[in-house]
Structure 1
Amino acid sequence: METNKQGEWFEIVIPEKWEGVTIESLLKDVWKTPKKLLHQFRMNKDTTVNGEQLSWSTMLKAKDRFRVRLFPSEEFGVIPDKLDMQIIYEDDHVLVVNKPAGVDTHPNEDGQTGTLANGVAFYYMENGVETKVRHIHRLDRETSGAILFAKHALAGAVMDRQLEKRNISRTYLALVHGQIKREQGIIDFPIGKDRHHPNRRRVSPGGQRAVTEYQVVRYDKKQHVSVVKLDLQTGRTHQIRVHMHHQGHPIAGDKLYEKQNDGYARLALHAAKISFLHPITEERISASAVSSDRLPEILKQELNKI
């Protein structure tokens, strides 16, 4: 699909599959533009076809050049702050970053710096991208790996909807203590707040439903640890950490849920891969985060196979 960015405008050559679709239907039904943004596009006359401003009831033809103003200049929303981070996928619409361990996803108070969002703002600034920093999901401070950002309002709305409908696939690798008896399975236990520990969560009948799929990748008899691949069907706070702890196989290096220091330098949990439908082209995009500092060697070896 032929697309390009021209300043504040995005241009796409209409493919045959969208032949006969009206301008309004492309924006509203295909791209599922939110009502507020749709109204903005209409009022500001932010669309053209082959260089002309046409009625939104106009049917598009294959090879028409459709333009929409997707990239207006915006404030970052956070303070730019240089951060050592790895970009693992990027185009004009989305950005996927490999978050280091020990870094918050976004500021928790006004003026905070040192988070991944601050680092993304600095990266945008360096590259002349004037847009709000929009993270689509989060990772715990101690967890490393792939995080998805949207680079304009329409992409953000589409990706938020994908996340809500569980159409964004996230695969994690973890090193856990012990040998898991069943090599694969589904953990389906609700998670709620722990009344005795304000920063912790626990399995609770009154909590929100939480579903984690797991598969044992490797067991190391000498170290008595297992490498586990995990996929989330839901996205609760500390979900993997709580579920594995509840199963009797806590994650190595988890100082919040383990009663004692187990000798690991950091939480051995890494968001290894993310997969999603592109918000504009609808192509399947997969991005892998194949490295991270201070991960146990046994986990690094399996990470390279993802």
Structure 2
Amino acid sequence: MTSETGNRYYEPIALQAEASDDGRLLREVLQRRLGISRRLLVKLKSTEVGITVNGRRTRTNEAVAAGDLIELRIEREESPDILPQPMELDIVFEDDHLLVVNKPAGQIVHPTTGHYMGTLANGIVHYWKERGEKSRFHPVHRLDEWTSGLVVVAKHAFAHQQLAEQMTAGTVEKLYRAYVYGEPPERSGEVNAPIGRSSEDPHRRIVREDGAPSQTFYEVAESYACGGASALDIRLGTGRTHQIRVHMLHAGCPLIGDDYYSDAVWQASALSTSLKGVIGRQALHAIRLSFRHPVTGEPLKLNAALPADLRNLEGALRAWHKEN
């Protein structure tokens, strides 16, 4: 492949036909083995060397033989609707197919109405342009503006599709660290309660009988002052908007620093008073992600250390624990 072609396409995605593929149409093999979408298949067929078998451009209605080397070359695209903006990025992992970044609290992932700049997308697009890289911003999932931690961004449609399927299948392990008022009744357990929109505030989610099934698993990592506060490790069984915040409030353990999903009793507590100025956002951080690489299939386990404000909160809670 020429250097010009190499710059035009991502690293090839290789697949060797197995005995069970012998005699099948190429499109059937790609759909069965890779779960490739019809839309991406059409796009691949329209490019110069999008799909090759043993180095030869091949139509998808041709049969393959066991041992054939099938290669997909996805053409590089950009995100012309996202303006580049220089900013510091905490990149945890990157290769030719995806990027994982540790997002700070107070930053939106993708531009929205009224927020066209200052988002994670603006910074990543600028970072790629500065490196001379042509990639499209495909966020696989998002975090609330005031939640910090790991965010996965796919660089092309195939990687996004493969990661989204893992998310849907529940094979992506997402671990959050949360600091909450109170302590759950058990050291480990789950909150299984449906979540829906509030009829009074469309942006707010609440537990309601007609809501979507929602499941949150927790484990107490540390307790402070006879259960006055807790550090929880949380995993999601489902991925509803604001799920952790809603479920923890429902369980009687609202997140420290969360003014939107708060509890008046805890807000008026001596602990809350002692924490004034220590934390200015919900105490929630996406600390770990485990998934299979969308192209190689290799397992990835990525971590993001607690940011300074949560380390300060943890120190304040331990100090308060000793004093009380």
If the length of structure 2 is used for normalisation, what is the TM-score? 0.82
Q: 1:204 maps to which residue?
A: 208
Percent identity, aligned pairs only?
33
**SS of residue paired to 1:205:** coil
Q: Are the counterparts in 1 of residues 181 and 255 from structure 2 also a CA contact under 8 Å? A: yes
Amino acid at match of 1:276: F
Given that 1:174 and 1:299 are in contact with CA atoms closer than 8 Å, whether structure 2 keeps it comes out as no
Most deviating of 271-280 and 220-229: 220-229
Deviations 1:228-251 (A, max 9, x none): 000001111110001111111111
- AA in 1 matched with 2:247: H
Checking the alignment, whether the CA contact within 8 Å between 2:77 and 2:134 is kept in structure 1 is yes
2:67 corresponds, among 52, 56, 61, to 61
Question: Is the 2:183–2:227 Cα contact (8 Å) retained in structure 1?
Answer: no
Matched, 1:273 2:288: yes
Structure 1 unaligned regions, length at least 5 = 302-306
**Range moving further from structure 2, 255-264 or 245-254:** 255-264
Change (3 A) 1:290 1:145: same
Other-structure match for 2:12: 11
Match of 1:242 among 238, 242, 246: 246
Q: 1:26 to 1:90 in 2, by over 3 A?
A: farther
In the alignment, the residues of structure 2 paired with residue 206 and residue 12 of structure 1 have an alpha-carbon distance, to the nearest angstrom, of: 43
Aligned-pair CA distance for 1:199: 3.0
CA contact under 8 A between 2:15 and 2:71: conserved in structure 1?
Answer: no
Counterpart mapping for 1:1-306 below 5 A: 6-7=6-7, 8-11=9-12, 18-20=17-19, 21=21, 23-44=26-47, 45-54=49-58, 56-59=62-65, 61=67, 64=69, 66-109=70-113, 112-221=116-225, 224-258=228-262, 259=264, 260=267, 262=272, 263=276, 264-297=279-312, 299=314
Q: Which amino acid aligns with 1:292?
A: P
Measured in 2, the distance between the counterparts of 1:12 and 1:108 equals 33
Asked which structure has the greater CA Rg, the reply is 2
Shift of 1:6: 3.3
Contact (CA 8 Å) 2:196, 2:207: kept in 1 or not? Answer: yes
Unaligned runs of 5+ in 2: 317-324
Distance 1:60-1:133 versus aligned 2 partners, 3 A rule: farther
2:222 and 2:10 map into 1 onto residues whose CA distance is 49
AA matched with 1:6? G
Taking the aligned partners of 1:90 and 1:96, their CA distance within structure 2 comes to 6
Say which SS state the counterpart of residue 57 (structure 2) adopts: coil
For residues 192 and 111 of structure 1, the distance between their equivalents in structure 2, rounded to whole angstroms, comes to: 25
Q: Which structure has the highest helix share of the two?
A: 2
| Matched position secondary structure for 2:190 | strand
127 and 30 in structure 1: CA distance in 2 versus 1, 3 angstrom threshold:
farther
Q: Indicate the SS of the match to 2:135.
A: coil
**Which residue is equivalent to 1:304?**
none
**Could you tell me how far 1:78 is from its partner in structure 2?**
1.2
Query: Matched residues in 2 for 1:37 and 1:98: separation?
Result: 29
What is the count of residue pairs matched by the alignment? 293
The amino acid across from 2:82 in the alignment is V
Q: Per the alignment, in what secondary structure is the counterpart of residue 117 of structure 1? A: helix
Q: Secondary structure at the match of 1:10?
A: coil
Please, which moves more after superposition, 190-199 or 51-60?
Answer: 51-60
Q: TM-score if structure 1 supplies the norm length?
A: 0.86
Q: Which amino acid aligns with 1:61?
A: G
